[in-house]
Amino acid sequence: MSDKIVASIITGGGRGIGRAIALRLARDTAVLLVGRTESDLQSTCQEIRQHGGVAEACVADVTASAAAERAVEMARVAGWTIHNLICNAGIGKSGPTESFPKETWRQIMAVNIEGSFNFIQACLPSLLAAQQGTICLLSSISGLKGYAYTAAYTTSKHALVGLARALAQEYGKRGLVVVPVCPGFVAGEMTDRTIRGVMKRRGISAEEATQLVVRANPQRRIIPPEEVAEMVAFVCSGRVPSLSGNPLILSGGE
């Protein structure tokens, strides 16, 4: 490792799981948060700095390859060595496949798959030069099994698991660890949208829909984003490099 500051790039780092990951990794590295909403990014950066951490924000759309290149350049100019890439930015929308909007399908693929690929490709030269580093792809339990009404989201999350496995094969001999993290329902906006979708399709109350989602987890709980962040931090610690290519499931046993 060089004498530069070790850094983590986190896409979708301003809210939800990404924010939790940023706050956790900031204990160990500098963090560069990428996202579309500047106020969210700056709020997270401010909290990190208040606790003595080092953080910068990059306002960008992950679907643009230039955004990934700009984030890597920001890290270089700051004198940081990229050690961890966390591809967390993602979107999801449910609905019957026969009427699912094609444009929404394309948008989900662009953000979830192409956005991850853009940042992986931009960060690889730095990671390979260091001959060590971690890439975490935030997939989902939907990356390992199918769910009705989520064809687009499920497809994108399966793709991330496959991408991680391929990268682990390709770059393991060059010191990279690539892990797809696959949580079940995590507290946040996406799970809230799922609950609203269940309400609409079944004609039930918010409380009833929430309980259906809760019961998807054998522990009868919705996962706090901080638990996902702890798993990502463990992967990034490098203590168990043989995790590479293996999906890490956080679902309470689902």
Active-site residue numbers?
153
Asked if 107 contacts 101 with a C-beta cutoff of 8 angstroms, the reply is no
Q: What is the CA radius of gyration of the chain?
A: 18
Order of strands across the sheet that contains 55-59:
55-59, 30-35, 5-11, 80-87, 133-138, 176-183, 248-250
Question: 80 — phi, psi (to 5°)?
Answer: -95, 150
Asked if 170 contacts 128 with a C-beta cutoff of 8 angstroms, the reply is no
Question: 30 — phi, psi (to 5°)?
Answer: -70, 155
Residues in the chain, total: 254
> DSSP code of 176?
E
Tally the C-alpha atoms within 13 A of residue 136's C-alpha that lie toward its C-beta: 34
Alpha carbon separation from 234 to 24, 174, 208 (Å, rounded): 10, 20, 35
Q: Give the list of residues 6+ apart from residue 85 with CB closer than 8 angstroms, or none.
A: 8, 9, 119, 120, 123, 127, 133, 134, 135, 136
